[in-house]
Chains A and B, each alone.
Chain A
Amino acid sequence: QKEVEQDPGPLSVPEGAIVSLNCTYSNSAFQYFMWYRQYSRKGPELLMYTYSSGNKEDGRFTAQVDKSSKYISLFIRDSQPSDSATYLCAMSSQAGTALIFGKGTTLSVSS
């Protein structure tokens, strides 16, 4: 079993849809959870950061972490064509250690 599992998609939705992206993990030591967005031929950029369990909201984006289930989610409300990108979940056990990534989910939002 890989440390971090993420459905690669692709996922295609119409503009305005609610998007749900998910990752599961096996290492119970993970406590820092992040979502990165990567546009084609660009570097990953941090979208959401969560420490330990809980929810975090930032505009149209909501990140959820359930450590008991080893499951994290990213919700995108009112999706826009500009949200079309690859979304990568990532996690680490402590600051200054390697960030472990899921394989990324490719999202396409059509207008």
Chain B
Amino acid sequence: DTAVSQTPKYLVTQMGNDKSIKCEQNLGHDTMYWYKQDSKKFLKIMFSYNNKELIINETVPNRFSPKSPDKAHLNLHINSLELGDSAVYFCASSPTQGLSGGYTFGSGTRLTVV
């Protein structure tokens, strides 16, 4: 039933570790995104990805790497985690034509780096 699902919901890890967050959508959308929401609730785009192109936000450190095995999945791998990476990460998806349904967001992964 869930349109955009991401796992895990919570992630607590130590500095320097490598972790991955998984995202899956069953809406048939062909574009997926990763957003980072900071402590002040500001949602900032990190990556957008469709079948043809990965668009990287230039402010994202290269420790972050998206991986898409197919158009229904977009995972986020983070190397050498830092304290400043603590945030809520949201996966989202959208069609490339017609947006009356908007962009659909997952419920978020709350990452805490200690």
B101 located at the interface, meaning its Cβ lies under 8 Å from any Cβ of chain A in the complex: yes
Q: How many residues of B contact A (CB 8 A)?
A: 32
- Give the interface centre of A41, A92, A98, A101 by most chain B CB atoms within 10 Å: A98
Known contacts A43-B107, A95-B94; A100/B45 CB under 8 A: yes
Give Cα A92 to B48, complex, Å. 13
Task: Please give the distance in Å from A12's CB to the nearest CB on chain B.
Answer: 17
Q: Residue-by-residue, is A64-105 near B (CB-CB < 8 Å gives 1, otherwise 0)? A: 000000000000000000000010101010011111110110
Among candidates A8, A34, A41, residue contacting B102 with C-beta atoms closer than 8 Å: A34
Chain A interface, >50% SS class:
strand
Closest A residue to B98 by CB, please name it.
Answer: A95
Q: How many residues of A contact B (CB 8 A)?
A: 27
CB contacts under 8 Å to A, within B2-39, are 4, 30-31, 33
- Chain B positions within 8 Å of A, measured between CB atoms, are 4, 30-31, 33, 40-45, 48, 50, 55, 57, 90, 92, 94-108, 110
17 pairs, A vs B, C-beta closer than 8 Å: A8-B40, A32-B99, A42-B108, A43-B106, A43-B108, A44-B43, A44-B105, A46-B101, A46-B102, A90-B43, A95-B97, A95-B99, A97-B48, A98-B55, A101-B44, A103-B40, A103-B42
